[in-house]
Amino acid sequence: MVKRPITLVCWQLAGGLLGWWLGDQRGVQVGLVGGALGWLAVDSARGARVLAWLRRADVTGTPKIGGLWGEVMDRARRALRLREQEAVDSRRRLQEFLSAIQASPNGVVLLDPQGRIEWSNQTAAEQFGFDLQRDMMQQIANLVRDPAFTAYYNSGGRGHEIVIQGPRSSPSRPVKLSVHLHPYGEGRKLLLSRDVTAVEQAEIMRRDFVANVSHEIRTPLTVLMGFVETLQNLPLDEDDRKRYLGLMAQQAHRMQTLVSDLLTLSRLEGSPLPGAGEWTPVSVLMAHCEQEGQALSAVLGKAHALRFEPAPAAEIAGSPSELQSALSNLVSNAVRYTPPGGTIHVRWRELTDGRGEFSVRDTGPGIAPEHISRLTERFYRVDRSRSRETGGTGLGLAIVKHVVQRHGGELKIQSTPGVGSTFAIQFPASRLRAVSRGTTVPPATESLAG
């Protein structure tokens, strides 16, 4: 600041000396005024350059100016650089924040005071069926037309969440969304959403499971209680007593089988996956299935035509008891549901890609397409009255599904009503190996559940 008046005085002195050298006292006065005007012109030119530079806001193209204006420009340049760096940092932090929201498994939608979409992450777009390009600044109420959501939005949310049906939901694949509105800023709202389809289905399955277990146990208990009361209160001859005791034993066996199957499922879900170090000959598994199938068919008095193709010279890695349980359950189901005199064809074959397939084809009543996807659910029954006649617990295919998954396989079901069904288990090639015909065969292992 001191240099500025000194510079002005210097310009005036120079002008005065020039005027004195060129003329008289009047020339000195003119020189002083001319020096001041010259200094003012140069200073104004510097100020104009600084102003033009500020208008461009170009930090890189800085003119070289000395004096006060040069200091002003240096300080302005540092301020601009600092502001530009802060803007870059702010954009970077905003981008990181938006990237984090984009990666969120939950949907996030920002709404302006008029309820228009200002921003949405990809998850919310997929859940609500938004088009991120087309639907920006569109009314949320026009895009989500669920009546429950409309009423919830109009009420302001009121601090609780609701569950609505997803726009892409269908009877075969239901989709449930939980939505929650949070006010923020000046009239704006934050809409959070999450897919609760699995949670809802798990809750339904839990309720159904408890109800089914209660029903399955209550039915034989009711029969047992009735027979016990009869034996206690009525004088019966020996034949009636034997018949009642036989029926009681049958109901007790039914409950025992149910409990055994439930324990099997619990053990399968909670135990480590089977390793690949224990090998079992396929012929042993097939022989055991044939013995059980023939015995069950004889007990039920159905006289089936059971056809077992010769087992290949191969071994499979995994838990012998689990594998035997899965294969035996498929054969037992075919025996139970195939009418008397029907045909049941069982075989093991190697697929072209090296996988092994165990299949059971029957000439039973068949299964309608809408039931096939639910057959492996616990206690799911296509026809409850027919299931009661066969004596099954409704857990066999659930056990099969778990065993197959634990061994990296795949369960395939094909069925035509009035023609029959084919249940096949395909095991990965990594769990199979060929053996010579002279290999010693170990004894059969017991299955997990009957």
- In tens digits, the chain (450 residues) has pLDDT values of 555 666 656 655 666 666 656 666 566 665 666 666 676 676 677 667 767 766 766 666 666 666 666 667 777 777 777 888 888 888 888 888 778 888 888 899 999 999 899 988 888 888 888 888 888 899 888 888 888 888 888 887 766 888 888 887 777 678 889 999 988 888 888 999 998 888 887 787 778 777 777 777 887 888 888 888 888 888 888 888 888 888 888 888 888 888 888 888 888 877 788 887 889 999 999 999 999 999 888 888 888 889 999 989 999 999 999 999 999 999 999 998 999 989 999 999 999 999 999 999 999 899 988 888 888 887 777 765 554 555 566 788 988 999 999 999 999 999 999 899 999 999 999 999 988 755 544 444 444 544
DSSP state letter for 190: E
Placement of tokens 């997803």 in the chain: 166
pLDDT tens digits, residue range 356-367? Answer: 999 999 998 999
Do 318 and 393 lie in a common domain?
Answer: yes
DSSP 146-161: -HHHHHHHHTT-TT--
Placement of tokens 């395909």 in the chain: 426
In a domain, 444, yes or no: no
In a domain, 255, yes or no: yes
Q: Which two tokens stand for residue 331?
A: 């054969």
Range of the domain at 357: 272-434
In a domain, 450, yes or no: no
In a domain, 298, yes or no: yes
Do 219 and 263 lie in a common domain?
Answer: yes
Report d(CA 394, CA 221) in Å as an integer: 18
Report d(CA 117, CA 101) in Å as an integer: 16
Do 238 and 108 lie in a common domain?
Answer: no
Cα–Cα distances (Å) from 45 to 69, 322, 343, in that order, read 10, 94, 107
Do 216 and 182 lie in a common domain?
Answer: no
Do 179 and 206 lie in a common domain?
Answer: no
Report d(CA 1, CA 114) in Å as an integer: 54
Report d(CA 282, CA 432) in Å as an integer: 9
In a domain, 443, yes or no: no
Do 31 and 143 lie in a common domain?
Answer: no
Q: Where among 195, 222, 256 does a domain terminate? A: 195
Angle at which helix 25-56 crosses helix 3-22, to 10 degrees, equals 140
Question: Which residue type is seen at 253?
Answer: H
| Cβ–Cβ < 8 Å for 407, 431 | yes
Report d(CA 281, CA 314) in Å as an integer: 6
User: Which spans in 271-356 are helix H?
Assistant: 282-300, 320-337
Report d(CA 140, CA 117) in Å as an integer: 6
Cβ partners under 8 Å of residue 237, min gap 6: none
For the question of whether the overall pTM of this predicted structure is more than 0.95, the answer is: no
Q: How many angstroms from the chain centroid is the CA of residue 112?
A: 30
Cβ partners under 8 Å of residue 252, min gap 6: 220, 224
Do 291 and 408 lie in a common domain?
Answer: yes
- CA 19, 22, 24, 26 dihedral sign is negative
Placement of tokens 């008046």 in the chain: 5
User: Which spans in 57-114 are helix H?
Assistant: 67-102
In a domain, 57, yes or no: yes
Do 280 and 361 lie in a common domain?
Answer: yes
- CA 54, 55, 61, 67 dihedral sign is negative
Report d(CA 101, CA 123) in Å as an integer: 9
| Residue 203 pLDDT | 80
Partners of 308 in beta bridges: 346
Do 299 and 371 lie in a common domain?
Answer: yes
In a domain, 441, yes or no: no
Strands 305-308 and 343-350: parallel
Q: What is the CATH number of the domain that holds 123?
A: 3.30.450.20
Tell me if residue 110 falls in helix, strand or coil.
strand
Domain count, the chain: 4
| Residue 346 pLDDT | 95
Report d(CA 142, CA 120) in Å as an integer: 15
| Cβ–Cβ < 8 Å for 178, 196 | yes
| Residue 450 pLDDT | 40
Q: Which two tokens stand for residue 387?
A: 């299931």
Do 144 and 89 lie in a common domain?
Answer: no
Do 322 and 339 lie in a common domain?
Answer: yes
State which H helix or E strand residue 359 sits in: strand 356-362
Q: Where among 195, 220, 240 does a domain terminate? A: 195
Do 314 and 375 lie in a common domain?
Answer: yes
In a domain, 133, yes or no: yes
Q: What is the CATH number of the domain that holds 279?
A: 3.30.565.10
Phi-psi region of 348 (alpha: psi -120 to 50; beta: other; left: phi over 0): beta
| Residue 443 pLDDT | 43
Q: What is the CATH number of the domain that holds 249?
A: 1.10.287.130
Q: Where among 195, 213, 242 does a domain terminate? A: 195
